[in-house]
Amino acid sequence: MDGMTRKDRVVVAMSGGVDSSVTAALLLEQGYEVIGMTMQIWPREGDAAWEEGHRTCCSLSAVDDARRVADKLGIPFYVTNLRAVFQERIIDYFTAEYARGRTPNPCVACNHYIKFDALLDRALALDAHYLATGHYARVEYDPERGRYLIRKGRDGHKDQSYVLYGLTQKQLSHTLLPLGELTKEETRRLAQDLGLKVATKPDSQEICFVPNNDYRSFLRERIPGQIKPGPFLDTEGNVLGTHAGLPYYTIGQRRGLGLTAPEPLYVIDIDTERNAVIVGTRDKLYRQELVAEDVNFVAVPGLAEPLAVTAMIRYNAPEVRAEISPLPGDEVLVRFENPVRAPTPGQSVVFYQEDVVIGGGIIKETR
């Protein structure tokens, strides 16, 4: 298929927001043949109650916004149905991770399995060579390494390289990220100059498929049989109270525990075998090491010996110095120079050297 694609044709993943809209406009200005495409992933058509409380990139109103932008730019626009793969790869993964006592990051999974896999396949089927998104990050080919690299976006406050670490070399070879050189303010200014009504549209801060960002209700509807009350335990095994169900808690959580103690208590562990939430004081949250699984390397083909990096244990967390060492399979040991607060199983840890993404993986366990 690659030999049949047109190098100047690009499909832009349009969410109806300012970032993807300006992405399409910039590529059009640069001389690309641009096609707009919006993913239809959630909910089912006619789900009025969901639509009423929801206005994110998955909603029907977002599709309308994207279509209006495409019309103004004069580019073809398609809506592609990816509900089945989204259900399997994102919704089922999201609920299963919470049922396991882990805290997932659906945006990382969506980029890897939906946007840059299923949607990229649709782009290639249209004889396009590239898929473009409105992420604030940069993709470059490094001839010395013979590899595509992911670099941080120029806007340090908006950088989204963290959520892209799972992309493969093949996916990166078909990826354009034109906003990587811009700040968010510059993007909005461009949208205003172009007369796009989405110029002042606020950024979505929600999980795109969870109405009103109420993930507890979302889980209650989908895995009610896997949400069972159990004990709050301290680090010595004493019962302090009763929790409402493991999926409702995450490492580092303080609010909503309903416990009375001389010092503030935090969730420091989720014990699925005992259906217990382990709580302790703030100092108990810190960990020196973690094991990451499902590791994908970007800037290097793999890891043969320990490597000094900076690591980010959750999106927008500060980078900290660490050393990563290979373990059997697709796992690595991450040892931090100084203990870090509340690394959380299910979240991603991403490794950097300066502004280059070395790779990343899913936090499996902490020590």
CATH, residue 343:
2.40.30.10
Q: What is the mean pLDDT of residues 14-28?
A: 96
- 44: Cβ contacts below 8 Å, ≥ 6 apart: 83
Block residue for tokens 């991603």: 348
Element (H, E) at 125: helix 120-125
- Residue 305 belongs to a domain: yes
- Residue 335 belongs to a domain: yes
- Residue 220 belongs to a domain: no
Residues 187 and 296 in one domain: no
Q: What is the C-alpha separation between 359 and 361, in angstroms, rounded? A: 7
Task: Report residue 212's pLDDT band, with 50, 70 and 90 as the boundaries.
Answer: confident
Residues 301 and 267 in one domain: no
Q: What is the C-alpha separation between 16 and 25, in angstroms, rounded? A: 13
Provide φ and ψ at 71, rounded to 5°: -65, -45
Per-residue pLDDT reduced to its tens digit, 233-262: 999 999 999 999 999 999 999 999 999 999
Closest CA to 111 of 149, 165, 60: 165
Closest CA to 149 of 132, 130, 133, 165: 165
Residues 336 and 244 in one domain: no
Q: What is the C-alpha separation between 68 and 21, in angstroms, rounded? A: 10
Where is the domain boundary, 247, 265, 280? 280
Residues 47 and 122 in one domain: yes
Residues 289 and 247 in one domain: no
Domain CATH number, residue 138? 3.40.50.620
Residues 27 and 100 in one domain: yes
Task: Report residue 85's pLDDT band, with 50, 70 and 90 as the boundaries.
Answer: very high
Tokens of 223: 């895995």
Q: How many domains does the chain have?
A: 3
- Residue 141 belongs to a domain: yes
Residues 341 and 360 in one domain: yes
Q: What is the C-alpha separation between 231 and 248, in angstroms, rounded? A: 13
Full domain range(s) for residue 95: 2-213
Tokens of 103: 């805290």
Residues 254 and 136 in one domain: no
Kindly list the catalytic residues. Answer: 110, 208
Per-residue pLDDT reduced to its tens digit, 276-327: 999 999 999 999 999 999 999 999 999 999 999 999 999 989 999 999 999 9
Q: Which pLDDT score, from 0 to 100, does residue 84 have?
A: 94
- Residue 221 belongs to a domain: no
Please, what is the angle between helix 215-222 and helix 92-99, to 10°? 90
Residues 51 and 31 in one domain: yes
Closest CA to 267 of 245, 283, 249: 249
Question: Using an 8 Å Cβ cutoff, are 178 and 187 in contact?
Answer: no
pTM of full prediction above 0.75: yes
Task: Report residue 184's pLDDT band, with 50, 70 and 90 as the boundaries.
Answer: very high
Residues 251 and 203 in one domain: no
Question: Using an 8 Å Cβ cutoff, are 75 and 34 in contact?
Answer: yes
Domain CATH number, residue 270? 2.30.30.280
Residues 67 and 105 in one domain: yes
Question: Using an 8 Å Cβ cutoff, are 178 and 26 in contact?
Answer: yes
Residues 34 and 133 in one domain: yes
Q: What is the C-alpha separation between 91 and 338, in angstroms, rounded? A: 35
- Residue 219 belongs to a domain: no
- Residue 222 belongs to a domain: no
Where is the domain boundary, 238, 264, 280? 280
Helix (H, G, I), strand (E, B) or coil at 212: helix
| pLDDT surpassing 60 at residue 1 | no
